[in-house]
Structure 1
Amino acid sequence: MSALLEVSGVSVSFDGFRAINNLSFSIGAAELRAIIGPNGAGKTTFMDIVTGKTRPDEGTVRFGARPVSLLSLSEAQIARAGIGRKFQRPTVFEDQTVAENLTMALKAARGPFRVLFWKETQADRDRVAALAAEVGLGDQLARKSGELSHGQKQWLEIGMLLAQEPRLLLVDEPAAGMTLAEREHTTALLVDMAKTRAVVVVEHDMEFVRRLNCKVTVLHEGSVLAEGSLDHVTRNPDVIDVYLGR
């Protein structure tokens, strides 16, 4: 299986501190991957590099079936190329309904003039309904987003990212602050999404990672320390020492 995202030999330093150290990582086109590691392991910096927020000092980052270098693209170009990022705190338009949030996120050719004359079509409404159903908000379309629970806001934001039709989704600590039922729904949602796209989940919660039942990459001091199933990496003496033993 060829990789959708290929990160090779990437390093980056901030004020002499090496946040990412000769990191290599790859993920397939329809794969779910969890990234774990202690605070300061480089998880956020890794996502910053892939999305163009941070430029590495060395190494390559290539993306797509016909790989292009992400290091030559802006953040906006990387997003348009098919990489979406979900931050830990949900950012939805609270005064707008679920349907309005999803409509605003739809992937459409919207230049400055097209926005002025843009009119919602039946196809748009059908797509919004399908997105809402996919993330478990099919019965909440008319509800103001500010009235949703924390978990529902997270699902809405995932729906807004899916509206952009990403091929790679980076999701930061999706289970934080959720009820047990919300966590179970989130697990099912992420597993389902990874059937048709690459999904990288950065997470601290080992029980949540176990539920994902996917390959795990352990980062430590900006490098890959171990990789494999959760059982495999949690038996690794180095992982026990730096992460589980703390």
Structure 2
Amino acid sequence: MSLLEVSGVSVSFDGFKAINNLSFQIGDAEMRAVIGPNGAGKTTFMDIITGKTRPDEGRVIWGEKSKSLLSMSEAQIAREGIGRKFQKPTVFEDQTVHANLLMALKNERGPLSVLFWKPKPDDLARVEALASEIALSDQLARKAGELSHGQKQWLEIGMLLAQDPKLLLVDEPAAGMTPSEREHTTSILVEAAKTRAVVVVEHDMEFIRRLNCRVTVLHEGSVLAEGSLDHVTSDPRVIDVYLGR
């Protein structure tokens, strides 16, 4: 059964069809890489899932109860369990790594509960576990602004995992990383995909190969090919529009 089903979705901006009759499915605990040339619709695709962009037609169905995401606000979609990581890491630079992870934990968000909230032992244990998962256990007392680019990326992934999402959308996580940072990012995402769905938009083919997952190729707003990396990279159409450039 699908966790997310995008069916026949199209969206135009000033007459340009950014997404054109796109259909896409992903299951509960699955890793998927999405590739394609610039302008293929990768970002718009994620914008539609997260409620940032409303399509002109089509359906976006979520979860066991087959809810329509198109009737929900961005905040409601986030509460449903869809987390998104943008290309540029957005962390609280003046706060410690520990404080960033603590703030991100899934807890009551009402005005009173926020005002009087104090971390419980379970919360502190969860922060320790997350820090270990993202290889920042030895950085908990440091301000997030002092971290390297790769470490900030890991912290942001950790902050998303703290909210326990069912689907994680990750935009170009390997950009600007050292080879060893890329390797650890692979481990974080592969581990995360054991218990939730993870969609990675990426250009780095070596990084995608290490993810060892199904690949969806977008072109001109629709799915051009789908399958293993070897399958899609040997497809003449994919070579023509993406790899041959």
Same fold (TM over 0.5): yes
Structure 2 partner of 1:119: 118
Offset of residue 110 of structure 1: 1.8
- Is it true that 1:225 corresponds to 2:224 in the alignment? yes
Cα distance in 2 between the residues matched to 1:114 and 1:137: 28
Structure 2 partner of 1:106: 105
Deviations 1:185-204 (A, max 9, x none): 00111111100000000001
Structure 1 partner of 2:5: 6
3-state SS of paired residue (2:139): coil
Cα distance in 2 between the residues matched to 1:222 and 1:157: 28
Structure 2 partner of 1:33: 32
Deviations 1:151-187 (A, max 9, x none): 1100000000011110000000000000000000001
Structure 1 partner of 2:178: 179
Uncovered stretches (5+) of structure 1, i.e. residues with no partner: none
Give the letter for the 2:52 counterpart: K
Q: Trace 1:1-80 onto structure 2 (pairs within 5 A).
A: 2-80=1-79
Give the letter for the 2:12 counterpart: S
Give the letter for the 2:142 counterpart: R
Offset of residue 115 of structure 1: 1.1
Deviations 1:68-91 (A, max 9, x none): 100000000000000000000001
Give the letter for the 2:175 counterpart: A
Structure 1 partner of 2:138: 139
Aligned length: 245
3-state SS of paired residue (1:118): coil
Deviations 1:196-228 (A, max 9, x none): 000000001111111111100000000000000
Cα distance in 2 between the residues matched to 1:110 and 1:75: 16
Cα distance in 2 between the residues matched to 1:198 and 1:130: 20
Structure 2 partner of 1:196: 195
Structure 1 partner of 2:88: 89
The TM-score with structure 2 as length reference comes to 0.99
Cα distance in 1 between the residues matched to 2:183 and 2:45: 27
Cα distance in 2 between the residues matched to 1:148 and 1:108: 26
Offset of residue 97 of structure 1: 0.5
Cα distance in 2 between the residues matched to 1:143 and 1:67: 43
Deviates more, 1:13-22 or 1:107-116: 107-116
Cα distance in 2 between the residues matched to 1:160 and 1:182: 18
Uncovered stretches (5+) of structure 2, i.e. residues with no partner: none
Offset of residue 62 of structure 1: 0.6
State, as a whole percentage, how many aligned pairs show the same letter: 80
Deviations 1:131-164 (A, max 9, x none): 1111111121111111111111000000000111
Cα distance in 2 between the residues matched to 1:139 and 1:147: 13
Cα distance in 1 between the residues matched to 2:189 and 2:84: 13
3-state SS of paired residue (2:175): coil
Cα distance in 2 between the residues matched to 1:117 and 1:230: 50
The TM-score with structure 1 as length reference comes to 0.98
Give the letter for the 2:55 counterpart: P
Structure 1 partner of 2:159: 160
Offset of residue 66 of structure 1: 1.8
The structure 1 segments of at least 4 consecutive aligned residues displaced by more than 6 Å after TM superposition are none
Offset of residue 114 of structure 1: 1.3
